[in-house]
């Protein structure tokens, strides 16, 4: 265009435009190639859509238990690990816990699953960390075992499905007792996502949440500069003290998960550890942009970049957000296909039965590594299911 149509006075501006266009095309080609390559290499984790044995997640359990394969768990290891979490015991098909639980609703969210599995489980001792942060850094001397809901590859913690699948998730104005009941949330968001078809979604990037990590800042700043492209704002959480905690702006109103589904492009970030929002975003059947790949939950390893979601490296610049959003705005079909695959994966493989199946598989394999005779402990209290109490 420049060579044929630009006269001399316009030549330099025209060449500059052309340079921008060439650069943009190169970036766009790179994204297209990443998608093509990921799809060519992608093998679904199972051909059984019902995946009754949660086979998709088995490799994660194997990896987390591998450091203990030769040693198993001795009484001393478990006793030493006790200070890193809440001590539980399964004995005679009953569940026991030390009296004190730092976050009672989180313990309830864990116990909901353990109680259902008792008839199938042998005697064992467990240390379950209910804090957000994992406990066993690989460079430390302590080797565990400790269960945590999230970790990076720098930690030895054994991952378990977070309490929030049932109870004890973050409390917000919209969920004053804490986000939980994934089963009900799935049903609700499935309905909403069907009611808002792809073509009716607003072509805008969306994020709502608190400033639990400054990795979120550049998206918030881009939204302030270019609100037509991105609508991202910080809300107040319990730790909020001043507008500094919402990046020098008043806290925004909270937005329900249902209302997230109105937007075509949804952003996920780490918080203190992994953020629970990722699974909800997929249910909207919008395109999920997942920033940073360090912080994991037990199911993340089966979600593949460019196949199920759009990966962004940690701390993206505003320019990088603009580039990738502009790419998908001009490649709508590719965006929709990725959104559909991500949605389908979560619908098919992150059902309540998959959470229960994961706990079962994890604890059966864990139990086989107990190297000593588990004994009753009278200082612990028995945890009963609400059904027992009736
Ligand atoms: O307007 C809003 C704001 C938040 N949320 C949801 O509320 C939850 C909490 O959000 P946020 O305040 O941004 O906290 P996160 O950083 O996502 O999660 C924090 O809280 C979790 C539970 O304690 C920890 O596991 C994380 O590591 C920690 O960073 C998330 O599921 C959000 O999707 C909404 O639905 N609407």
Residues near 290 by beta carbon (within 8 Å), at least 6 away in sequence:
268, 278, 303, 305, 309, 310, 311, 312
Distance CA 99, CA 383 (A): 10
Quick: pLDDT tens for 281-327. 999 999 999 999 999 999 999 999 999 999 999 999 999 999 999 99
- Average pLDDT on 13-37 reads 87
What pLDDT shows up at residue 18?
78
Give catalytic residues, as residue numbers: 132
At residue 24, does pLDDT exceed 90?
no
Q: What is the mean pLDDT of the chain?
A: 94
Residues 30 and 337: beta-carbon distance below 8 Å: no
**Ligand 1 within 6 A of 306 CB?**
no
**Ligand 1 within 6 A of 273 CB?**
yes
* Cα pseudo-dihedral 350, 354, 359, 361, rounded to 10: -130
Q: Are strands 86-91 and 310-312 parallel, antiparallel or unpaired?
A: unpaired
Ligand 1: nearest atom to the Cα of 274: 27
At residue 356, does pLDDT exceed 50?
yes
Quick: pLDDT tens for 180-191. 999 999 999 999
Question: What's the 230 CA to ligand 1 centre distance in angstroms?
Answer: 19
Widest Cα–Cα separation across the chain: 91
**Ligand 1 within 6 A of 269 CB?**
no
Instruction: Say how many C-beta atoms besides its own lie within 10 A of residue 250's C-beta.
Output: 9
Quick: pLDDT tens for 211-244. 999 999 999 999 999 999 999 999 999 899 999 9
What pLDDT shows up at residue 388?
60
Closest residue CA from atom 12 of ligand 1: 210
* Top-confidence residue, 386 or 306: 306
Which DSSP letter does residue 205 get?
E
Distances (CA, A) of 76 to 92, 148, 374, 376: 22, 20, 12, 16
What pLDDT shows up at residue 1?
43
What pLDDT shows up at residue 49?
79
Distances (CA, A) of 199 to 64, 196, 332: 42, 8, 9
Q: Which residues pair with 73 in a beta bridge?
A: 370
DSSP H or E stretch at residue 382: strand 381-383
At residue 159, does pLDDT exceed 60?
yes
Task: Please name which of 198, 263, 200, 271 lies closest in space to residue 227, comparing C-alpha atoms.
Answer: 263
**Fold adopted by 187-296+300-349:** Rossmann fold (3.40.50)
At residue 16, does pLDDT exceed 80?
no
Q: Are strands 202-209 and 158-159 parallel, antiparallel or unpaired?
A: unpaired
Ligand 1: nearest atom to the Cα of 162: 25
- Average pLDDT on 56-74 reads 97
What pLDDT shows up at residue 140?
85
* Cα pseudo-dihedral 157, 185, 172, 83, rounded to 10: -20
Query: Candidates 132, 163, 170: which one to mutate for ligand 1, based on the most atoms within 8 Å of Cβ?
Result: 170
Distance CA 125, CA 89 (A): 5
CATH 3.40.50.2000 intervals, the chain: 187-296+300-349
Question: What's the 62 CA to ligand 1 centre distance in angstroms?
Answer: 29
What pLDDT shows up at residue 224?
98
At residue 7, does pLDDT exceed 80?
no
- Average pLDDT on 357-376 reads 98
Question: What's the 271 CA to ligand 1 centre distance in angstroms?
Answer: 7
Residues 285 and 193: beta-carbon distance below 8 Å: yes
Residues 342 and 308: beta-carbon distance below 8 Å: yes
Closest residue CA from atom 19 of ligand 1: 271
What pLDDT shows up at residue 219?
98
Q: Which residues pair with 252 in a beta bridge?
A: none
* Top-confidence residue, 152 or 9: 152
Question: What's the 289 CA to ligand 1 centre distance in angstroms?
Answer: 16
**Ligand 1 within 6 A of 212 CB?**
yes
What pLDDT shows up at residue 9?
56
**Ligand 1 within 6 A of 179 CB?**
yes
- What is the SS3 assignment for 109? helix
Q: Which residues pair with 287 in a beta bridge?
A: 265
Question: What's the 208 CA to ligand 1 centre distance in angstroms?
Answer: 9
Residues 152 and 294: beta-carbon distance below 8 Å: yes
- Average pLDDT on 341-353 reads 97
What pLDDT shows up at residue 390?
43
Ligand 1: nearest atom to the Cα of 281: 33
What pLDDT shows up at residue 4?
46
At residue 28, does pLDDT exceed 50?
yes
Distances (CA, A) of 383 to 109, 128, 224, 375: 13, 15, 50, 17
């Amino acid at each position: 265009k420049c060579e044929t149509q630009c006269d001399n006075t316009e030549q330099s501006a025209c060449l500059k435009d052309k340079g921008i266009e060439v650069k943009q095309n190169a970036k766009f080609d790179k994204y297209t190639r990443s998608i093509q390559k990921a799809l060519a290499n992608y093998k679904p984790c199972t051909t059984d859509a019902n995946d009754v044995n949660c086979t998709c997640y088995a490799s994660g359990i194997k990896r987390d238990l591998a450091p203990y394969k030769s040693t198993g768990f001795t009484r001393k290891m478990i006793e030493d690990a006790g200070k890193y979490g809440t001590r539980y015991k399964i004995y005679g098909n009953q569940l026991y816990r030390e009296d004190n639980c730092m976050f009672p609703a989180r313990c309830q969210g864990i116990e909901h699953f353990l109680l259902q599995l008792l008839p199938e489980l042998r005697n064992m001792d467990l240390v379950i960390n209910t804090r957000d942060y994992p406990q066993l850094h690989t460079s430390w001397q302590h080797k565990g075992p400790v269960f945590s809901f999230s970790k990076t590859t720098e930690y030895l913690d054994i991952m378990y499905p977070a309490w929030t699948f049932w109870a004890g998730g973050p409390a917000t104005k919209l969920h004053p007792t804490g986000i939980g009941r994934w089963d009900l949330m799935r049903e609700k968001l499935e309905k909403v996502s069907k009611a808002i078809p792809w073509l009716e979604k607003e072509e805008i990037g969306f994020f709502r949440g608190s400033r639990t990590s400054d990795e979120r800042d550049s998206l918030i700043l881009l939204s302030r500069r270019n609100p037509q492209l991105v609508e991202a704002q910080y809300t107040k959480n319990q730790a909020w003290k001043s507008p500094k905690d919402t990046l020098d702006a008043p806290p925004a109103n909270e937005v329900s998960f249902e209302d997230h589904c109105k937007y075509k492009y949804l952003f996920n970030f780490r918080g203190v550890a992994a953020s629970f929002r990722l699974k909800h975003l997929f249910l909207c059947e919008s395109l999920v942009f997942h920033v940073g790949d360090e912080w994991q939950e037990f199911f993340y390893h089966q979600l593949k970049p460019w196949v199920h979601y759009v990966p962004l490296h940690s701390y993206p610049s505003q320019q990088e957000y603009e580039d990738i959003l502009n790419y998908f705005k001009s490649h709508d079909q590719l965006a929709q296909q990725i959104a559909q695959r991500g949605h389908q994966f979560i619908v098919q493989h992150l059902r309540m039965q998959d959470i229960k199946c994961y706990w079962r598989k994890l604890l059966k394999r864990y139990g086989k590594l107990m190297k000593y005779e588990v004994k009753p402990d009278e200082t612990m209290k028995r945890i009963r299911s609400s059904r027992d109490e009736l």
